[in-house]
Amino acid sequence: MHRSLFTRPFTRTSFRPLLLVLTASAALGAAACAGDEILAPIDGAPCARGTLSTTRSTESTVTGRDCTLWSEYEYGRVSAETWTLPLKANTGYVVRLVAVETSPGVVPFNGSLTAYERDTEGTPQVVGFGNEFGPGNRNSELVLTTVAARTVALRVETASLSDTGAYRIEVATCPVTPLVPDSLYSGISTALGCRSEALFGAPSRLTFFSLATESLDPILVGYERTAGTASLRGLLSGPDLDVHGMLSGSLYILSGSTPAEWFFDDTPDRIGRYTLTVRVHADSSATFAVAHLTDALTRASQPR
């Protein structure tokens, strides 16, 4: 018989969302300075456009005059621009690239969004890919989560050399709550989550959690709706930044929609910190509880 999450032996923890302090950048629209350690090695100074703000949208236009490069994604030469985005600890980011209408019915820009970060040897590596959405799939959305402060570079690239035009970048943030093992977090409202247009193929509200693994034992994590009528859907990803899970070696496990309770029980291939994303449709709401289970008694009570 499937018992409720609340019948298991947990340390009960009140859910207190992290408070985020966001500072607007004064570098919008400015070229990267000579000391930029993230941007310049990726695409070069002619491609650099500055630092993105998390408090207001940023507009720009890809012209193709200053920066063209080879795209592994499009497998051809494209026009591009590159921005930096400082990431705060325990924060989720939804970065949305929107093609701008330049005259009635005319949207010249068609492109995508990719995130880069330097590895320990200083080599730029892809850490996230955007998901297409909107009319003609001309928009792109990237979902990243992090538990430590870091800086990424975001490349805006066109689908071809001729797909230049105006675009807008919007950055939304919301908390990533670290889960203490075998503690029950309750009273979580989906209204606190970030809005996504593309991750699940429909407008969604996303609530993020992080959990650490210290071995390659199966990860067991559960969540349960406690109020409301929204159907919950879960995504366990990592240990990379990209929630979409397209990166090599990442764990990407998607649960089915469920009205009440769901458990993940899957074996990771790497030790690290993983992200649990709980989703509801943007037009619905719910309150739920969540827990990361590790102790033997709790694991034994989970039905197979």
* Residue 24 in domain: no
* Rounded CA separation 32/41 (Å): 11
Q: Do 132 and 188 share a domain, yes or no? A: no
* Residue 27 in domain: no
Longest dimension (CA), the chain: 65
* Residue 218 in domain: yes
At residue 186, the pLDDT reads: 92
Q: Do 165 and 205 share a domain, yes or no? A: no
Q: Do 90 and 180 share a domain, yes or no? A: no
Q: Which tens digits make up the pLDDT trace of 284-299? A: 999 999 999 886 445 4
Strand order in the sheet with 286-293: 11-14, 183-189, 286-293, 219-228, 261-266
Q: What's the whole-number mean pLDDT along residues 212-237?
A: 87
* Rounded CA separation 33/28 (Å): 12
* Single pTM value for the model: 0.83
Last residue of a domain, one of 109, 142, 174: 174
Q: Do 129 and 81 share a domain, yes or no? A: yes
At residue 259, the pLDDT reads: 55
Last residue of a domain, one of 174, 191, 219: 174
| Strand 219-228 to 261-266 pairing | antiparallel
* Rounded CA separation 291/214 (Å): 17
Residues recorded for the chain: 304
Q: Which two tokens stand for residue 142?
A: 């990237």
Q: Which tens digits make up the pLDDT trace of 159-213? A: 999 999 999 999 999 999 999 999 999 999 999 899 999 988 889 999 999 999 8
Last residue of a domain, one of 144, 174, 204: 174
* Residue 163 in domain: yes
- Phi/psi for 301 (5° steps) reads -80, -10
The residue to which tokens 């430590």 are assigned: 148
Question: Any idea what the CATH number is for the domain that residue 11 is in?
Answer: 2.60.120.380
Q: Do 76 and 115 share a domain, yes or no? A: yes
Q: Do 100 and 158 share a domain, yes or no? A: yes
Provide the domain limits for residue 148. Answer: 40-174
Q: What's the whole-number mean pLDDT along residues 16-20?
A: 36
- Residue 240, classified by CB atoms within 10 Å of its CB into exposed (0-12), middle (13-18) or buried (19+), is buried
Q: What's the whole-number mean pLDDT along residues 244-259?
A: 68
Q: Domain count for the chain, please give it.
A: 2
Number of H helices, E strands in the chain: 2, 21
Q: Do 164 and 81 share a domain, yes or no? A: yes
Q: Do 162 and 218 share a domain, yes or no? A: no
Q: Do 47 and 170 share a domain, yes or no? A: yes
* Rounded CA separation 260/278 (Å): 13
